[in-house]
Amino acid sequence: MSRLRAWLRPATAWADLGLAAKGLVVVALPLAILLGGIGALHLSSRAEAEAERAVRLTFAIQRDIHEVHALLAEAASGVRGYRLTGQEAFLEPYTKAEALLPLTLARLRASVRDPEIRARLTRVDALVIQKRQGLAQLAAMPGAGSQDSLTTREVAEALVANKRVLDGLRAEIEAMQRREGQLLDARRARADSERSRTLGLTAAMAVIGLLASLAAVQLLFSGIVRRVRTLERDAERLERGEPLTTRDHAQDEIGRLARRLVEAGELLRRREAELRDGEERYRRVIEGVRDYGIFALDTEGHVTSWNVGAERIKGWNASEVIGHHFSIFYPPESRRETPSRLLAAAAADGRVEDEGWRVRRDGSRFWANVVITAVRDEAGELQGFSKVTRDITDRKRAEEALKAARNEAERASMAKSEFLSRMSHELRTPLTAILGFNQLLDMDRELLGPDQGHAVEQIARAGGHLLGMIDEVLDIARIEAGGHTMNPEPVRVDELAREAIALTTPQAQAAGIEIRFQPGEARAWADRRATLQVLLNLLSNAVKYNRRDGRVVVEVRSEPSRTVIDVRDQGPGVAADFVDRLFTPFDRLDADRWSGAQGSGLGLALSRGLARAMNGDVLYRAAEQGAGSVFSLVLPTRPVAEAAPSRSETAE
């Protein structure tokens, strides 16, 4: 068992090794062997080249030794010929030998490595010198070319001495050549051996490289290819929906991919099961919907599914309608055009909504709201349509009834406005006469008694109040009828506020009320007269409904795209129950409490109407600290085309 574990450890380590490391090993193994073989071949080639160079050097040494012998022999022959004939042409070999012998001997000294040959070469150098000296002496002796040029005693002795030196040189040279012949045979044998070793090493490297390549291929197959094929088979099983089992436990990329594939297969099966459950639940939900007709159409508009709601609304059951074109649900007058137009719009835009009359199985009509949605696959190809139908006949009838009621209310409002306008004009005529006669009486006040003078004052006060109420009624009628003319322009709000404060000051002083102004650099786009009228109404109310010795604060402030004028009083404020009725015409809130204050209940309604006609508003909020109320006039800073209307904004 221990041996088995020891054998499995390397295999497991190899399987756990990453693909990059495996690829490196597979590539590096034959590459390392190749590089080793190249190195060995290089070394062997170098040894073979060295051996061949030694052989060539031996040939060169032998050639130079032979050349030394030949030069000396030719030089000696030439000197003898010169002695016999006396012709200097025979001295050319001697002259040539004198020039070449030093160079040849120098090459020999540089080339010879063998100790024995070097020793003999030393002796040859000495003999060559003697030979050259002897030849030089012989050539220089007189009598060259005479009959006794070779028979004189000095010449004979010189010839004998030169012959003796030449014989010694010949013996040394022959010994050197024999030694070089031995060295040549040894060096040839070494070169042949190196050549044979190179061939053998080349063959061995080829065999080792082939085996290494086979080993690398085996490693690649066992480590990658075989397992990749397993993954491919697992992918095919996954495609067929078959379960996968984990068989590859290696920790490399392929092992992790195999485990991920198994996990993906399990996740896919779970999601398929969830999808089937969801589709079943969806089918049950659709089948259970009774208030909506939900069904599917093919690309041509034929019904492919049908739910209970569709059967309840339209009257057809599934077997009667599936396969038929959905145009059967439309009235005859729209059956040819509307269905195709709705399908084309849904295909182009993805969704279309429509309302109109539809037909039930029994021929009765109902008003339906329908939504048709295009159904496309992942590639964007149209697969059909889904259609949701809702019966909104009751809502249609309610809308028609509401529209009729609204039209009736508008007619009543117009009649009311017409009545108020005519009544105001009818009242203004006799009231003007009354006020005129009252002015005549007032001109003769010195003729009247105290009671009569007081009655004249009461008539003037009551007439003025009634005339102001008539004007307010006319303004309300014009605003509601949309006939109130506005001339908006850029206005300085602080100037209008100061003007309104100046006009209200006598009323405030009579009531013991202090008015404080907090100006601000602000402009508004508004009608000057209407803005002043609104400010006067707000200031008059702030004085009228304030406490004795109270204070009114007017503050101008700028906000984004609007200007706000706050009018703050120190009165008891507005009860929470009355806030919703503040701007209702003719509704005087808490009239019993403020019975001494004159008013028609139109001021705030008229003020809001004028403000909204200028694309502004009048807002109310309770004072932040203590009792009191804050009414805010909100006006735009730019024309209505540039500024958003403010009437929908609420008080802070």
User: pLDDT tens, 278-312?
Assistant: 656 655 555 555 578 888 999 999 999 888 888 88
Is residue 344 in some structural domain?
yes
12/5 Cα distance (integer angstroms): 10
Q: What percent of the chain has pLDDT over 90?
A: 14
Same domain, 563 and 468: no
User: For all residues of the chain together, what is the average pLDDT?
Assistant: 76
For residue 249, the model assigns a pLDDT of: 63
Same domain, 333 and 184: no
Is residue 213 in some structural domain?
yes
Same domain, 49 and 165: yes
What domain range includes position 503? 488-636
Q: What percent of the chain has pLDDT over 70?
A: 69
For residue 85, the model assigns a pLDDT of: 79
357/331 Cα distance (integer angstroms): 7
Same domain, 412 and 522: no
Pick the last residue of a domain from 187, 204, 220.
Answer: 220
For residue 440, the model assigns a pLDDT of: 66
Same domain, 379 and 328: yes
Same domain, 26 and 171: yes
SS (H, E, C) 214-258: HHHHHHHHHHHHHHHHHHHHHHHHHHCCCCCCCCCCCCCHHHHHH
Over residues 45-85, the pLDDT tens digits come to 676 677 677 767 777 777 877 788 788 788 888 877 877 77
Same domain, 494 and 480: no
Same domain, 387 and 400: no
What is the mean pLDDT of the segment spanning 365-379? Answer: 91
Radius of gyration of the chain (CA): 66
Is residue 9 in some structural domain?
no
Over residues 331-369, the pLDDT tens digits come to 999 888 999 999 999 999 999 999 999 999 998 999 999
639/151 Cα distance (integer angstroms): 153
Grade residue 8 by pLDDT with cuts at 50, 70 and 90. Answer: very low
508/554 Cα distance (integer angstroms): 13
What is the mean pLDDT of the segment spanning 520-543? Answer: 87
SS (H, E, C) 111-169: HCCCHHHHHHHHHHHHHHHHHHHHHHHHHHCCCCCCCCCCCCHHHHHHHHHHHHHHHHH
Is residue 504 in some structural domain?
yes
Lowest-pLDDT choice from 249-253, 310-314, 379-383: 249-253
Same domain, 114 and 181: yes
Amino acid letter at 218? Q
Pick the last residue of a domain from 484, 503, 536.
Answer: 484
112/289 Cα distance (integer angstroms): 116
Domain holding 424: CATH number? Answer: 1.10.287.130
Same domain, 415 and 517: no
Grade residue 595 by pLDDT with cuts at 50, 70 and 90. Answer: very low
Is residue 265 in some structural domain?
no
Amino acid letter at 72? L
Domain holding 345: CATH number? Answer: 3.30.450.20
| Counted domains in the chain | 4
Same domain, 386 and 305: yes
pTM of the model: 0.34
Of 386, 384, 388, 385, the closest CA to residue 358 belongs to 388
Is residue 236 in some structural domain?
no
Grade residue 153 by pLDDT with cuts at 50, 70 and 90. Answer: confident
Pick the last residue of a domain from 484, 517, 552.
Answer: 484
Grade residue 139 by pLDDT with cuts at 50, 70 and 90. Answer: confident
Checking if the pLDDT of 496 tops 70, the result is yes
Grade residue 418 by pLDDT with cuts at 50, 70 and 90. Answer: low
236/244 Cα distance (integer angstroms): 10
**E strand or H helix at 515:** strand 514-518
Is residue 615 in some structural domain?
yes
Is residue 641 in some structural domain?
no
Same domain, 347 and 405: no
Higher pLDDT, 43 or 94: 94
Q: Is 356 helix (H, G, I), strand (E, B) or coil?
A: strand
Q: Is 61 helix (H, G, I), strand (E, B) or coil?
A: helix
